[in-house]
Structure 1
Amino acid sequence: MSSTEQDKQQYSTSFLEPKETISEVKEITDLITETRPWFKVPHLRTLAWHVFVITLTSTTNGFDGSLLNGLQSIEYWSPAMGHPTGHVLGALSNGTTFGSFIAFPIAPYICDRWGRKWSIFVGEALVVIGSVLQGASTDYAFFLVSRLVIGFGAALATIASPTLISEISYPTHRPVSTFAYNICWYLGAVFASIVTYLTRLIHDNYSWRIPSYLQALFPFIQILLLWFVPESPRYLVANGKTDRAREILVRHHIGGSTEEADQEFVDFEMKEIEASLELERLAGANSKYTDFWTRKTYRKRLFLVMFTATMMQLSGNGLVSYYLNKVLNSIGITESSKQLEINMCLMIYNLVVSCSVCFTSGFFKRRQLFLTSLIGMCTTYVIWTILSALNQQRHFEDKGLANGVLAMIFFYYLAYNIGCNGLPFLYITEILPYSHRAKGINIFQLTMMTVLIYNGFVNPIAMDAIEWKYYIVYDCILFCELIVVYLFYPETSGRTLEEVSEVFGDGEQAKFAAGFSIEEKRSLEHVENA
């Protein structure tokens, strides 16, 4: 199967909408009359710009991770914060995660009650306020509270943004559009690394205050541009504003065309949205969180959801994302300017790699990407550990060993971006049936935040205590992750929902649990009786 055919079989990556089956995809692609590349079509160029504006949400977390790395290498920041180390430093790193935990129970409600755009607007406004407070901080407690505000706002915007992208994207562009969302994490990281590198030349507290203030830049730009971004047609239909929803689809999907074929395409999209909302109501009434414990086939799904979330955050990446300076200290690179240069180059490199992976991932199967990623990470981490040990034994006098560790860090992130950046979001939405997809995603996010707290507290304590020996822990973790993926992860690419459900042993009940064909969408009474 070609990558184009695979793209056509991709589902709407909204976490609340059902995946399209083959019969749906054939019908909707038959209705699509626009065959030109998107950059040659004015209304699709405009829509792509709107999608890019929404992806700016992910720059907040990327900026934050790179900022903390940079601030730890700026000599004026640590004294201003009371020289935090160990768990005290971990609390600062986890500040945004704690804020996200506070927002976690209410963010989905706000997103559904007041709309996707409004959630992003409010969330990014809070990030701006938190960033200003962060720059104005006078002590540790002030700085920590400001990070709680940033995390709370980022959670509101993060839950709404991928959903809005998938709900306004042109149908055949949804997979790439949603995958691209996570790439902008590195855009924020690149900007933060450049800023902290330049402000190192300022010899007072503004060397760290300016980067802290500038964390508000991308959110502020997004707030200004968000006024021109359309609201989700799905949200509008759910709230009885069908005329406005149709107007948005006409403007952005067919460029205002009055041709019969184009109008038929919009009619199809409207019917699909209305049907999916009704199916969501029906499925929601028949699904419970306890199903993940009481039903055998769902227990395996729960394991895959939680393990994938853990793998995404507990594969050694957290050590470099927030504590690169400690890693560099462990190999004898202690000069502040050198550390900031490495941080900047690493973030730029990651941005380029993740963009490349995004546009080539359709050529490979899911298991191939996961296994390639884990083999690469495991191999580079083992070499990284050996070189770090030798470097310490030789009292950091062998620059070749230090350069070898740096090379392994870059190779490690090449492997990480192949399978643990955007792929997990695609994979878990494929293994989760429609009726339990939203609940499964909530479990996925909660697991990730829990692991982030571990990273924030344990990593700095362990690095201070045993330095390079801590890498052995991740060597073992990565090896175990590789074995688990090889033995227990089913392939999902190129399969219909029924075929994926059969892999889990759902049998004849899979059709209702996992999704519905277009004929079923148009006959809701039949589905309700099923």
Structure 2
Amino acid sequence: MFDFAKKDIGTDHIENASPSNSIDKNIEHAVVEETIDDYIYLDKPFYKYWFFNLLHWYIFVNTLSSTSNGYDGSLLNGLQIISHWRDKMGTPTGAVLGALANGAVFGGFASFALASWFSDRFGRKPAILIGQVISILGAILQGVSTNYGFFLAARIILGFGTGFTAVASPCLISELAYPKYRDTATSSYNNFWYLGSTIAAWVTYGTHTMNSNHAWRIPSYLQGAIPLFQIVCILISMPESPRFLVSKGKVDQARAIIRKLHTGDDYSEKATAFVEFELKEIQAALEMEKINANSNYMDFIKFPTYRKRLFLVVFTGCFMQLSGNGLVSYYLNKVLDTIGYTEAKKQLQINGCLMIYNLVLCWCLTSVVHLFRRRTLFLSSAIWMLICYVLWTILSARFAISGFTDNGLAKAVLAFIFLYYLGYNAGCNVLPFLFTSEVLPYSHRAKGLNVLNLTINTTLIYNGFVNPIAMDAIQWKYYIVYCCILAVETVVIFFFFVETSGYSLEEVARVFGDDPSQVMPHGVAVSEKSSLENKESV
């Protein structure tokens, strides 16, 4: 079934930490001197192997967590266009409307620490299940809401459930994925956000003509359909994470899952060698986690090279959410109002088409992202978005000067909204989590990703509260603010972003001035080690 080939062994390996003497010598040998490619390659396209089709079905089921989140994001866009929802909620505007947009964010904050602990303590599957059960409860409460406060509480509950799935599902995807396709599988998680947003956009389009509260209650109830489907699929056949099983001492169960999903239950000597290699990788990573337990968040402040990493992580989170996307993601109706598209049916059609466009665009970008250098793609994305926003602003101003009568200008603005998302999806959707994982050393990777998520949620609060107030107050003039922000982002990326493509995870350390051969077990360079020890002795 497979063709295994032993090759010359080099130093380019998978994990980027200096192995400790406490690690088993066999594990050390496997991680430091060999790679997956030393053992296996496929002689046919992946889709011709039945077990890969099964594995990718499991990965798709896990991406439904992102789909649920995307449904929520687009739903509020659609509901704002439905008059019965506005009447029931008291026609919210400004900060009051912003609180609804941020309801799910508040819930996510509440579950942030608990979700991570629960996922590590009880497993990825239970964390997803409990998260989606909570999401279904939130969807039901959202559908039966009788006033603004009730609806806001339901959205906070939805966000609490999403917090569990947002932690557990990406972990389960990366820990189940076949090594060769792990990057693609992991990056696909974010892309399925647009599948949910597309569904929500067209559901609200289908119900908006109902002359009753069912126009918004039905889409609200249906928000629980995706979590329900995911729960059923998980309960029927979803395997647990091999990494989690190994961490709990259930090595045989982990071995059986890897053998089934990565070799198709092939028990040949060569396939067994591959399975055992993967197990040793997992065991080595767990050993390194124990060694690196003394790493802490203050390292990002104490040491110069880590301060630069922290800056890149925080800026990447800001780049994702403060590049103008927040206006269209949650307040498309307000943007469309400024260019004369005020009819509910037309706004919902544009919303639905934009989501389909983004969905297809993200899938295409994911398939080719490996062909581009990281910094180049970030910079190109920022420049493209800046150009689109400047022209978008100029055309909106001209439309306002014309007395909101020039349909040609309105159509041109709409075209630039679509063109803008080409740049946004290339730089702010496909790359950020991959880039963040590369700039962070193994010992601080989880902590750095937590900082990234915290930054994203903080900027989402800004988007939720400031954008609707500003759009109500100054309309198209608010676009100038984002033109300035995008200009600053372009300059920062040009001068401060590092290139990480073409390096192994360990070699990226050289980009920051660290010598990867002289990195302490918990990730601090030897040049910084004496400073750390002196402070500890004091």
Structure-1-length-normalised TM-score: 0.92
Give the residue type in structure 1 aligned to 2:372.
Answer: F
Map 1:55-134 onto structure 2 (within 5 A).
Answer: 55-134=63-142
Report the equivalent of 1:241.
250
Distance 2:29 2:101 in 1: 42
Alignment partner of 1:281 is 2:290: yes
Equivalent residues, number: 501
Report the equivalent of 1:443.
451
Map 1:219-234 onto structure 2 (within 5 A).
Answer: 219-227=227-235, 228-234=237-243
Report the equivalent of 1:252.
261
Matched-pair contact (CA < 8 Å) for 1:497–1:514: no
Report the equivalent of 1:372.
380
Map 1:494-509 onto structure 2 (within 5 A).
Answer: 494-507=502-515, 508-509=517-518
Cα deviation, residue 162, structure 1:
0.7
Matched-pair contact (CA < 8 Å) for 1:432–1:514: no
Cα deviation, residue 30, structure 1:
2.2
Map 1:137-176 onto structure 2 (within 5 A).
Answer: 137-176=145-184
Matched-pair contact (CA < 8 Å) for 2:339–2:396: yes
* Structural RMSD (CA): 1.9
Report the equivalent of 1:518.
none
Give the residue type in structure 2 aligned to 1:457.
Answer: F
Shift in alpha-carbon separation, 1:10–1:341, aligned structure 2, 3 A: farther
Q: Secondary structure at the match of 2:60?
A: helix
Distance 2:390 2:353 in 1: 23
Report the equivalent of 1:423.
431
Give the residue type in structure 2 aligned to 1:91.
Answer: A
| 2:38 counterpart (30, 34, 40) | 30
Report the equivalent of 1:361.
369
Distance 1:118 1:75 in 2: 39
Distance 2:410 2:32 in 1: 55
Give the residue type in structure 1 aligned to 2:259.
Answer: V
Cα deviation, residue 513, structure 1:
5.1
Shift in alpha-carbon separation, 1:10–1:192, aligned structure 2, 3 A: farther
Give the residue type in structure 2 aligned to 1:108.
Answer: S
Q: Secondary structure at the match of 2:323?
A: coil
Distance 2:459 2:13 in 1: 29
Percent identical among aligned pairs is 54
Shift in alpha-carbon separation, 1:362–1:26, aligned structure 2, 3 A: farther
Give the residue type in structure 2 aligned to 1:349.
Answer: Y
Matched-pair contact (CA < 8 Å) for 1:95–1:145: yes
For structure 2, list consecutive stretches of 5 or more residues without a partner in the other structure: 1-11, 17-27, 525-538
Matched-pair contact (CA < 8 Å) for 1:21–1:497: no
Give the residue type in structure 2 aligned to 1:428.
Answer: T
Give the residue type in structure 2 aligned to 1:297.
Answer: T
Report the equivalent of 2:3.
none
| 1:177 counterpart (185, 194, 205) | 185
Alignment partner of 1:466 is 2:474: yes
Distance 1:458 1:307 in 2: 19
Deviation per CA, 1:73-106, whole angstroms, max 9, x where unpaired?
Answer: 1111101001110000000000000000100121
Matched-pair contact (CA < 8 Å) for 1:21–1:496: no
For structure 1, list consecutive stretches of 5 or more residues without a partner in the other structure: 1-8, 14-19, 516-530
Matched-pair contact (CA < 8 Å) for 1:233–1:245: yes
Q: Secondary structure at the match of 2:83?
A: coil
Cα deviation, residue 34, structure 1:
3.4
Alignment partner of 1:398 is 2:416: no
Cα deviation, residue 317, structure 1:
0.3
Deviation per CA, 1:360-405, whole angstroms, max 9, x where unpaired?
Answer: 1011110111011111100000000001111111111000010011
Structure-2-length-normalised TM-score: 0.91
Report the equivalent of 1:476.
484
Distance 1:497 1:88 in 2: 45
Give the residue type in structure 2 aligned to 1:453.
Answer: I
Cα deviation, residue 278, structure 1:
0.7
Matched-pair contact (CA < 8 Å) for 1:126–1:153: yes
Give the residue type in structure 2 aligned to 1:417.
Answer: N
